[in-house]
Amino acid sequence: MDETVVQSFLCGEDLMRAKAVAIARSAFSQAWAMFSSDTRKYGGNTGYDDILGVQYVYDSRVANYRRVKVGDLVVLRDETGVQGVGRIHQIDRLDHVTKTRRVCPGCGSGRFEKRMRQTRRFRCRTTGCRMEFDQPAEKQVQVTQFIAHYGGYWRALDGAIDSGRIKVAFLDAAKQNAIRPVDPIKLKEMLAELSIPLPPKLPEKSESPQKPPHGGRRLVLTKARYGQEAFRQELLKRYGAVCAVTGPCPTDVLEAAHLRPFAEHETHDLDEGVLLRADVHRLYDNNLLAVDPESWTVVLAPSLRDYSEYAKLSGVQFVRGPSPEAVKKRFDEVRALWFS
């Protein structure tokens, strides 16, 4: 075949592939990665009243603020990773909001950063200024403020996708923008690897939409094991949002479980850990559920036979991956308790 014809054919293939991708993307809503953290790269922003799992607040000084619409997907991220994904079901607008902005005393720019070791605490990043100073100045600015509500469609990820990985899905080259466009297809693929579906689309206007449930988080004081949250994050990365017994489920009800009682060793060994739904975790910790090391299936205590919903778990295949030795040791101990 003539080389020119071959090149033309390949170009045609590339064009068709590009069109196919464009059509596929058009089937999805826009998706945005929204940065929410107490730590900012530049110090001019005094922060927003974000509530993780409920709402994201931004204003008319933020890049892409005009493009965010009801129905769009949102990915909430911080310095370490993605904390969850949702879909915007309402946007409130507040005009003429006065906002305090910290600025460089020299040029009035908000583009300055905190320094870790140098004598002067801050340094301006604006070209032509570069002033070093100890205390920012303040000025009042008028903005239009927006509150994007997504709590009714929130799915927590709790850092299962780290910050470096989500950047692969960004559709722009900006580094500092708080709101950045994300490729919805790549986002869907990343979530699918963790067995987490995209939040559902909003109901049609003809339908009678229900008031979304209130989400968010509350402060709870309790004793915590050192490293427990990091242990859970690593298990989410390894197994996805999947209970080792019941299968895919929301991360909100998934807990990091130790196959051997934590009190015995007080270490977080990933090979001896799995994710379990909260109630299943309770059964496991209370010696009511174990795993047969030969068939790798769930075995229940005789006392659970009269509970139909839990009885269904008997014989269910347990997730592959954890240490066979830990599974067997726990099985032998629990069986001895049942039949002693």
pLDDT in tens, 129-188: 999 999 999 988 899 999 999 988 899 998 999 988 999 999 998 877 899 999 999 999
Instruction: Evaluate whether residue 202 is within a structural domain.
Output: no
Instruction: Evaluate whether residue 10 is within a structural domain.
Output: no
Most confident of 116-125, 218-227, 262-271: 116-125
Residues 188 and 242 in one domain: no
Instruction: Evaluate whether residue 291 is within a structural domain.
Output: yes
Residues 154 and 241 in one domain: no
Residues 63 and 181 in one domain: yes
DSSP H or E stretch at residue 262 = helix 262-265
Sequence length of the chain is: 340
Number of domains in the chain: 2
Are the beta carbons of 270 and 235 closer than 8 angstroms? yes
More confident residue, 261 or 193: 193
> 36 vs 40, 65, 84, 118, CA distance in Å?
9, 15, 11, 27
Residues 257 and 177 in one domain: no
Instruction: Evaluate whether residue 112 is within a structural domain.
Output: no
Residues 41 and 182 in one domain: yes
Average pLDDT score, the chain: 83
CATH number for the domain that contains residue 176: 3.10.590
Tell me the sheet residues that pair with 99.
141
pLDDT in tens, 165-175: 999 999 998 87
Residue ranges making up the domain that contains 258 = 228-338
Instruction: Evaluate whether residue 64 is within a structural domain.
Output: yes
Residues 172 and 312 in one domain: no
Residues 169 and 239 in one domain: no
Residues 41 and 168 in one domain: yes
Instruction: Evaluate whether residue 324 is within a structural domain.
Output: yes
Look at residue 224 in the predicted model and tell me its pLDDT.
46
Instruction: Evaluate whether residue 123 is within a structural domain.
Output: no
Residues 189 and 252 in one domain: no
Q: Averaged over 122-135, what is the pLDDT? A: 92
When pLDDT is cut at 50, 70 and 90, the band that residue 36 belongs to is confident
pLDDT in tens, 2-25: 555 445 544 555 555 555 445 444
Are the beta carbons of 121 and 114 closer than 8 angstroms? yes
Longest dimension (CA), the chain: 82
Instruction: Evaluate whether residue 242 is within a structural domain.
Output: yes
Residue 43 in 3-state DSSP? Answer: coil
Q: What percent of the chain has pLDDT over 90?
A: 54
